[in-house]
Structure 1
Amino acid sequence: MVDYFEERGINASEDADTRRARLESHIMRLMADFNLFEELGMPNQLAPPASKEVVNSLVEEKIAKSNSGKCDICLKEYEIDEITKVMPCKHKFHSECIDAWLSKTNSCPLCRYELPTDDKFYEDYRKEKKRAKERDADIANLHNSMFS
């Protein structure tokens, strides 16, 4: 005979945090399936700061020659032997400028490339948004292959 937990598919040995995280994931999925993010105005919500770990791991580059451009945040020219940080999208900025920027939001100021955050809710939202786009593309491909 199955017990209460087995009947409901609950692993009784899991800790409360693991169960809570799984429940949050199911809620996020439900919200995405019924477009509740848009209903709640979440697309207009500001993105949280980038993960400190990711910001600290950005590649640093030393400026080797003069006239090598300017920082698009503070608009000052780079000086020789100055340290800059390079984003994964290959845009570079003064270290202190990009650190201050990424402490407020998780995206590149030029192209809006998004870095990971420490906000689990926002990361789940991003995953669901990406999945929704992929589903729409798959449906369009299926439709086009059937009717063209």
Structure 2
Amino acid sequence: MTAISSRPNCPIEMSFDLDEALTLPQDIPSRRSSAVSNSSAVVSMSTAVAPVNACSVCMEGFEPGEGGKQVPCGHVYHEACISEWFVHHNSCPNCRYKIFQEN
């Protein structure tokens, strides 16, 4: 039995334009620099008792009485989990509410 691929059968040279890549602006802002300020903002978010049994980032449960970090839309996560999430994303993992505005 052979697997059927949904990707078109084309060489990499046809799907990547080196000239375009080389002419991209060099001053594209780094997501990493905004991530540092985003993760420090997590520390200032309010601590709340999680209304659900598990953090939806790591899927692990909260300990009884353990507080998590509550984002502005109201969802609660482990501090370490949501800090790491904000390194790569600027929105709530559950509802995609924009937490930080892109610069």
Give the distance between the partners of 1:116 and 1:94, measured in 2 at CA: 18
**What is the Cα-based RMSD across aligned positions, in Å?**
2.6
Paired residue type of 2:75: H
Aligned residues: 71
Structure 1 residue 92: deviation in Å?
Answer: 0.5
Give the distance between the partners of 1:79 and 1:69, measured in 2 at CA: 9
In structure 2, the partner of 1:81 is: 65
Which segments of 5 or more consecutive residues in structure 1 lack a partner in the other structure? 1-46, 124-148
Indicate how the Cα distance of structure 1 residues 68 and 91 shifts in structure 2: closer, same or farther if over 3 A, else same: closer
Which segments of 5 or more consecutive residues in structure 2 lack a partner in the other structure? 1-30
Give the distance between the partners of 2:53 and 2:49, measured in 1 at CA: 13
Paired residue type of 1:76: E
Give the distance between the partners of 1:86 and 1:115, measured in 2 at CA: 11
1:57 to 44, 47, 66: 44
TM-score calculated relative to the size of structure 1 = 0.40
1:100 to 73, 84, 88: 84
Q: Percent identity?
A: 30
